[in-house]
Copies of this chain bind each other. A is one copy, B any other.
Amino acid sequence: MEPSERADEAVFDAVQEMPGHLLRRLQQIAVSMFLAECRDHDLTPLQFAALAALRDNAPVDQATLGGLIALDRTTIGVVVAKLEERGLATRTVLHRDRRSKMIRLTPRGMQVLDAILPDVEHVQARLLEPLDPDEQRHFMDALRKVVGAHNAVSRAPLRS
């Protein structure tokens, strides 16, 4: 049977079941839930991740910071520019290497991070709530395994 002669709905049904498609939808949902829950703090998921990475690793240059949360050079540049604009981080050029800009959290950045953390943890828990504890563990294990195995394939691999 040729692909074009399949029964009605067969192709579309297959797409609905594809991991890539479900993954996109869940990512869509996760971002939506994050933004709703953290509305008061006015931080996007990426801005939050960057703040958290900065808290434990500052000072770092942009490229390294991007590697810590798996963002390519351009994207991390946009995120950090936004953080700087809002007074949550600073960028300072190094004397010894004037190509690099070292990123640091401001006191205000620390405050915002501390304030948003409980809400972030809450929304993460809510995301997996439809699964029972056992399923949650297996799901997270699988997620870690697949991400770890394919890390190098990503355009912006995690670098630790």
**A145 touches which of B4, B52, B69, B131 (Cβ 8 Å):** B131
Asked if B135 contacts A142 (CB within 8 A), the reply is: yes
Mask of A120-160 contacts with B, CB within 8 angstroms, 1/0: 11011001111100010011101111111111011110100
Complex interface: chain B residues within 8 A of A15 (CB): 48-49, 52-53, 69
State the main secondary structure of chain A at its contact with B. Answer: helix
**Chain A contact residue count (CB 8 A cutoff):** 74
Instruction: Judge if A70 is at the interface, Cβ distance under 8 Å.
Output: yes
Given A11-B55, A117-B3, A146 and B158 contact (CB-CB distance below 8 Å): no
Complex interface: chain B residues within 8 A of A138 (CB): 135, 138-139, 142
Asked if A12 contacts B144 (CB within 8 A), the reply is: no
Q: How far is the CA of A32 from the CA of B156 in the complex (A)?
A: 10
Q: How far is the CB of A90 from chain B (nearest CB, A)?
A: 18
Asked if B28 contacts A26 (CB within 8 A), the reply is: no
Complex interface: chain B residues within 8 A of A33 (CB): 150, 153
Q: How far is the CA of A114 from the CA of B20 in the complex (A)?
A: 18
Query: 8 closest pairs, A vs B, by CB?
Result: A130-B149, A12-B56, A139-B142, A27-B27, A15-B52, A22-B143, A20-B30, A29-B150
